[in-house]
Amino acid sequence: MVQMEWYLVLSTIMMFVGILGFLVRRNLLAMLISIELILNSVDINFAVFNRYLFPDQLEGVFFTIFAIGVSAAETAVAIAIIINIYRNMKNIQVKNLNKMQEE
Amino acid sequence: MGHTIWILLLPLISFILLGLGGNKMKPKATGVIGTASLAGVTILSYITAFSYFGAGRGIDGLFPTLMPYDFRWLPFMDNLSINIGILLDPISVMMLVVISTVSLMVHIYSMGYMKGEKGFQRYYAFLSLFTMSMLGLVVATNIFQMYVFWELVGVSSYLLIGFYYTKPAAIAASKKAFIVTRFADLGFLIGILIYGYFAGTFSFTPETSRLMSAGMMISLALGLMFVGGAGKSAMFPLHIWLPDAMEGPTPVSALIHAATMVVAGVYLVARMFPLFIGYAPDLLPWIAVVGAVTALYAAVVACVQSDIKRVLAFSTISQIGFMMVAMGVCTSADPHAGGLGYMASLFHLFTHAMFKALLFLGAGSIIHAVHSNEMSAMGGLRKYMPVTHITFLVACLAIAGIYPFSGFFSKDEILAACFAFHPAMGWVMTAIAGLTAFYMFRLYFGIFWGKENKELHQTHKPHESPLSMTLPLVVLAVITCVAGFIPFGEFISSNGASYHIHIDMKVAGISICVAVAAIAISTWMFARENQSVPDALANRFPGLHKAAYNRFYIDNAWLFVTKKVIFKCISTPIAWFDRNIIDGFFNLCGKVTSKVAAGIRFMQNSQIQQYCIWFLAGAVILTIILIF
């Protein structure tokens, strides 16, 4: 059986890849994907802790499923917003999204 | 005496009703409501007077001082609270009768005079407010309640003078009246506070021991209170607001600026009289001097004014001066030994209220007929307006002091009191009484005889006023004819004891001779078509005539003091300080904040990833701090 630490290392790497991606990518879609990475890393943690530390309970797994559902809905909303932004501005580069700033 | 509360409540209810719902009613209905409530007040006042005086004197030979209501209104401390209630004693009951009578007459008269005016409902609402406040003033149980109602009459006077609010002159006059009287009331308020501090009470009957220990401070308090009274009663040099107050509707002048509000100062002195005579007898001669100067000044000015309401206004000032003199010449509380002036003053207040209201209402009737205040538009009106003519003549004879009209009796008592005080004062006042007769008949002849303004009267024929206006004139004229025979001293005297009025034949003879002589001169000068004598006199003494016509430049002096001295030297620097130092400090605070904000604005660059980096950096730094 794979040791628990490997899963945690994986989720940590996913988390920081996600954060890095969120900070450095200028494309809204790429930023969204990065957020999904962060979320998934957390999901892995939930599942792993449940499986290794409290094998006779199911809360962690349930929470993971809920989180996946919620993030799906959130992604749908985010993509709808991004599509609307694209319709209005003809691009989705985040540096151009400063229309609401006072000049 | 429980019904007395309705004397105050009826006009208050009528004011609230007309003030809030007046615009939804027909003008006529509002007039009827106002007049009906005043009729109720008048009936109640007369019932009060008859039952009060009818109950007779107590065992000590005085009329009792009743307090049907005395409600503890503002309890400041255990030993200092302010009450509000109703006080009935001879002078307040007498004032109730005067105010309600004149006010009812004015209410009836206004139905005709103000007919068709814009704001008729507002007018009646204000009249009710005024009547309520004035009645509240006279029945006040303590000096503070008096002050509250004192200010209320000031406000209603302001509102009514500025009734024609589209006329700049009326607005200016109302502001002037309010500011000048407020200025004087400052003295009144300070006086009340000093009095309250040293006497430990605001009532009119403080403990003797406390007053004795207060010493000079009571004199000071009473003197300051007199300043307030002088402002309200238009004493020289605070009289300047009264002639301008004539911009208001004429019935208002009759009610407020002739019969009731302007005598509040005299009433105040009468109310505080036991204190004046007991603790500040040195002040009274000064009151007499102020009154005499006012009376003389106003009488001289009245001789040359051409606006009939102005003549009456100065005449009012002069007559109130008479009342003040009579108050001031009292040297003891005993009416038989130096206290006659108190009774004479209030007697004159009573009769003057009636005949001066009559004169003003008559003037209103004339103005109604010729649509002008100027004497040049009048002349020869006697054949057009017989009722107004006769009633006006009655009032003129009364104010001139001709037997048997009411003014004769009261003025005679005043002159007798003055002669008893000092012969010089007596002679001066007699001379002023002569001047009074002179200018009143100048007015009378100028209006009803003299040179008729035929052109004007051809285009607009003068006509007698409707019944609603002539009826009050007739009622007041009848009162003026008989009021002198009221045994006034039986009801009111300086120490409350019965005093039988007797005519001093020497004084009466002198005053009648002077009055008749003045009327004769006046007749000789003004009763004919061409008025060569007055013109010649005016040309002979152009400086005096011009100065008197311009009221001896007192208004200009006040303007100089306010505009050049107070505004320039005090207000302008203070305004500069306010604009530059105080406002400047807060502007500086605001500027610093906005400058700092602009300085750190580069951080808010609307790049969400930038914010995230800041956030992350902060989180990392915090983590490092927490770990190590």
Q: What is the pTM of this model?
A: 0.79
Helix (H, G, I), strand (E, B), or coil: what is residue B464? coil
Can you give the CATH number for the domain in which A35 is found?
A: 1.10.287.3510
The whole-number pLDDT of residue B42 equals: 93
User: Which phi and psi angles does B88 have, rounded to 5°?
Assistant: -115, 120
Residue B533 clears pLDDT 80, i.e. is over it = no
Does residue A82 form part of some domain?
A: yes
Assess contact for B279 and B217: CB atoms under 8 A.
no
Q: Give the pLDDT confidence of B68-104 residue by residue, as tens digits.
A: 888 888 887 777 788 888 988 888 999 999 999 999 9
The whole-number pLDDT of residue B316 equals: 92
Assess contact for B45 and B118: CB atoms under 8 A.
no
Closest CA to B332 of B421, B409, B415: B421
**Which residue out of A22, A38, A99, A100 would a mutagenesis test of the B interface target, given it has the greatest number of B Cβ atoms within 10 Å?**
A22
Contacts of B613 in chain A (CB under 8 A): 23
Distance from the B601 Cα atom to the nearest Cα atom in chain A, whole angstroms: 11
Contact A94 B609 (CB under 8 A): yes
Q: Kindly report the number of other CB atoms within 10 A of residue B454's CB atom.
A: 10
Interatomic CA distance for residues A45 and B525, integer angstroms:
120
Does residue A57 form part of some domain?
A: yes
Does residue A103 form part of some domain?
A: no
How many domains is chain A built from?
A: 1
The whole-number pLDDT of residue B402 equals: 85
Does residue A53 form part of some domain?
A: yes
Residue A22 is nearest to which of B606, B607, B612, comparing CB atoms?
B612
Domain assignment of residue A53, given as a range = 4-91
**Which residue out of B602, B607, B611 would a mutagenesis test of the A interface target, given it has the greatest number of A Cβ atoms within 10 Å?**
B607
DSSP B580: I
Distance from the B558 Cα atom to the nearest Cα atom in chain A, whole angstroms: 57
Residue A94 is nearest to which of B608, B613, B616, comparing CB atoms?
B608
**Segment among B64-73, B390-399, B427-436 with least mean pLDDT:** B64-73
Residue B606 is nearest to which of A24, A26, A101, comparing CB atoms?
A101
Q: Kindly report the number of other CB atoms within 10 A of residue B269's CB atom.
A: 28
Q: How much of chain B exceeds pLDDT 90, in percent?
A: 29
Does residue A100 form part of some domain?
A: no
ipTM score assigned to the predicted complex: 0.74
Does residue A68 form part of some domain?
A: yes
User: Which phi and psi angles does B457 have, rounded to 5°?
Assistant: -75, -20
The whole-number pLDDT of residue B619 equals: 92
The whole-number pLDDT of residue A101 equals: 66
Which of the two residues, A22 and B1, has the higher pLDDT score?
A22
Contacts of A97 in chain B (CB under 8 A): 606, 608
Number of Cβ pairs < 8 A linking chain A and chain B: 23
Q: Give the pLDDT confidence of B577-608 residue by residue, as tens digits.
A: 999 999 999 999 999 999 998 888 877 777 78
Confidence tier at B151 by pLDDT (50, 70, 90)? very high
Does residue A38 form part of some domain?
A: yes
- Return the ∠ at Cα A12 (arms to A11 and A17), rounded to 5°: 95
Does residue A102 form part of some domain?
A: no
Which of the two residues, B534 and B244, has the higher pLDDT score?
B244
Confirm or reject contact between B613 and chain A (CB < 8 A). Answer: yes
Distance from the B602 Cα atom to the nearest Cα atom in chain A, whole angstroms: 12
Name the range with the highest mean pLDDT among B50-64, B288-302, B456-470, B476-490.
Answer: B288-302
